[in-house]
Amino acid sequence: MSTLATDNDILNEAERWKKAGKGVAIATVVETWGSAPRPVGSHLVIDEDGNFLGSVSGGCVESAVVTEALDVIENGKPRLLEFGVADEAAWKVGLSCGGRISVYVQMIEAAPTTAHK
Amino acid sequence: MDVQLLAGLNAARAARQPCVVVTELADGSSRLVQPDELAKAPLAGTALSEAIGEGLRSGRSAMVEIDGKQLFLAVQVPPVKLVVIGAVHISQALAPMAAQVGFEMIVVDPRTAFASPERFPDVRVLAEWPDIALPTLGIDAYTAFIVLTHDPKIDDPGISHALERNCFYIGALGSSRTHKKRAERMRAAGYTEEQIGRIHAPIGLNIGAISPAEIAVSILSQIIATLRAERVAAKAAKAAA
């Protein structure tokens, strides 16, 4: 029987993908306004082939996040995406629940980065 | 975030250690902070230390702005562990449901005929008495603990251990009458009313459950309701305002 991916599965899978030599990005819900389908801290992980695990919304914006993540994997620069009713025209996707969410997409790097204070 | 940090985060989660990943949004640089670092240099006394401490207390991830930098604090609290005393029919129904909601389920029952791997293919089963098995399981405040055997010899030591380890949910199967007798035994053993009051009994939300699977749903629902009580209360307060 297949089960839904838990947070543990999602982050472990990201680690496995990266250690297998794939380009990997991690998308995280960093802010929500109004009624949002997934809480702050929810993750979606994406590999360079567009495979993904987890969710940042009820399925409304995942495909847009995956597309952005593939760009992030390619150029390494993190980006902050906003989705919601107000941004519908810009993103062509919206949250049916009427809320807004902010999703941060960053690449998993191979080598340690400099820690900030 | 780099793969070493991710591996460290996964290791902390596997070891059930709370931690916080601090990410600076401008450049994506991240660091993993363990609770014991908050009181040490260089973090001690900083606004960041305070914000991380608050995150660990509330269990909530959040954006913060510190020294003009936008930081995201990803708070990682251990996943819920569900310890079940009694390898009974309800436990069998509960196993796949617990897996679906992401609870790590462990079954303890000294009766080997019940506690067999055949009856619980995907679950850790210990065919031991609770006083032998429980101390090895790292039962903590992120653990939900339920007793289902109806046998005080097996159930009662389990409840004692759960109270000692401050489990966030403790539930006991049995009628109100059975629970009354249990409460009497506990009073005689020196437990306070506050401690006895922590036990959900009869177990589960009252949804009129009949079958083992339905009872499993009612138990799981009550565990989730307890886990999310703060969230429910906040929403109710907002609605009332």
Between A4 and B201, the more confident residue is B201
pTM comes to 0.78
Q: Any chain B CB within 8 A of the CB of A3?
A: yes
Summary mean pLDDT of chain B: 94
Q: Do B29 and A112 touch (CB under 8 A)?
A: no
**Residue bearing tokens 């807004």:** A100
| Dist CA A113 CA B3 (whole Å) | 10
Q: Any chain A CB within 8 A of the CB of B100?
A: yes
Say whether pLDDT at B21 is over 80.
yes
Please tell me whether residue A76 adopts helix, strand or coil conformation.
coil
Q: Do A14 and B25 touch (CB under 8 A)?
A: no
> With a cut of 70, which residues of chain A have pLDDT below it?
1-5, 85-98, 111-117
Average pLDDT of the segment spanning B142-155: 96
Cα angle B137, B143, B145 (rounded to 5 degrees) comes to: 85
Average pLDDT of the segment spanning B212-227: 97
The whole-number pLDDT of residue A114 equals 53
Least confident window among A9-13, B40-44, B229-233: B229-233
Average pLDDT of the segment spanning B14-25: 92
Question: Could you report the per-residue pLDDT of B66-115, keeping only the tens digit for each?
Answer: 999 999 999 998 889 999 999 999 999 999 999 999 899 999 999 999 99
CB-CB neighbors (< 8 A) of B30 in chain A: 106, 113, 115
Please tell me whether residue B143 adopts helix, strand or coil conformation.
strand
CB-CB neighbors (< 8 A) of B75 in chain A: 41
Task: Give me the amino acid identity at B117.
Answer: P
Q: Any chain B CB within 8 A of the CB of A101?
A: no
Of A12, A14, A80, the CB nearest to B25: A80
For residue A4, give the DSSP letter.
P
Q: Which tokens in the block code for residue A25?
A: 């990005």
Q: Any chain B CB within 8 A of the CB of A45?
A: no
Interface ipTM above 0.90:
no
Average pLDDT of the segment spanning B208-234: 91
Between strands B81-85 and B69-76, the pairing is unpaired
Contacts of residues B215-221 at CB distance under 8 Å and 24 or more positions apart, as own/partner, are: B215/B90, B215/B93, B216/B90, B216/B93, B216/B94, B216/B97, B217/B97, B219/B90, B219/B94, B219/B146, B219/B171, B220/B94, B220/B97, B220/B98, B220/B101
Number of A to B CB contacts under 8 A, please give it: 90
**Residue bearing tokens 């839904």:** A4
Of B6, B29, B72, the CB nearest to A11: B6
